[in-house]
Amino acid sequence: MKLDLFVLISSVASLIGIPGQLAYSAANQFLDNLVHHRRHAGLTALALNYGVMGNFAGPFKNSGHDAEELVEFNMMRGLFSMSLPKVLTTLEKAITDNITQRMAAYMD
């Protein structure tokens, strides 16, 4: 079946790493590699490597820390939250640009 879109939401963790999150980083790197494999095979694919989205604490949910602590931890590392409208705008732009991979994050 020919797909019009094949979009995988990945994390900046696959590009920059997060201390203590090796498995999370590796899983996201797998998503990135799958997208590159599909593109090389002539198939549609896009990987979006998002940074922090709001106070979502996905990779840390079993860490024993609450979301606010994790937001502060990320800010100390130079990773700042993206608003949902910005997340959606970057998704739309990446799809219309017909690229293979894009990182979308507020970093300092």
CA-to-CA distance for 84 and 89, rounded, in angstroms?
Answer: 9
Distance CA 52, CA 65 (A): 16
Token pair of 11, please? 């994390």
* Predicted confidence band of residue 5 (pLDDT cuts 50, 70, 90): very high
List the chain domain ranges. Answer: 7-107
Instruction: Grade residue 83 by pLDDT with cuts at 50, 70 and 90.
Output: confident
pLDDT 10s digits, 16-64: 877 777 888 999 999 999 999 999 999 999 999 988 776 555 555 666 6
Whether 73 and 63 have beta carbons less than 8 Å apart is answered as: no
How far is CA 96 from each of CA 5, 16, 36, 92, 93, rounded to the nearest angstrom?
A: 11, 26, 18, 6, 5
Other CB atoms within 10 A of residue 28 CB: 24
Task: Assign domain 7-107 to its CATH superfamily.
Answer: NAD(P)-binding Rossmann-like Domain (3.40.50.720)
